[in-house]
Amino acid sequence: MLNFPKHIKEYTEERSPHSLVHFVKELAASFHSFYETSPVICDDEAVSNARLLITETTKLVIEKSFRLLNVKPLEKM
């Protein structure tokens, strides 16, 4: 997610949507791996809070990317 500003810059300045699409795809794959191996809610409150922050931040970055790409996200599959 740290590279998100770089991909936005490429998208806007270089008119390079494929860079942003690739970034979102990789972010979604990374989050999927994280979610499969790390229970978001656990006994350790600090860990749960950190994982919730990762989850919320990932959601916001994907939503922002979709808006930039003019893609309407699905609520359910």
**pLDDT category of residue 9 using cuts at 50, 70 and 90:** confident
Asked whether the beta carbons of 11 and 19 are under 8 A apart, the reply is: yes
**Would you say residue 75 lies in a domain?**
no
**Would you say residue 44 lies in a domain?**
yes
Checking if the pLDDT of 77 tops 80, the result is no
3-state secondary structure of 63: helix
**What pLDDT is stored for residue 15 in this prediction?**
85
**Would you say residue 54 lies in a domain?**
yes
56: its two tokens: 């919320």
Which CATH number does the domain housing residue 50 bear? 1.10.730.10
Counting the structural domains of the chain, the total is 1
**What pLDDT is stored for residue 26 in this prediction?**
96
**Would you say residue 76 lies in a domain?**
no
Asked whether the beta carbons of 60 and 1 are under 8 A apart, the reply is: no
3-state secondary structure of 49: helix
Domain extent, residue 24, equals 4-69
Q: What distance in Å separates the CA atoms of residue 49 and residue 73, rounded to the nearest whole number?
A: 26
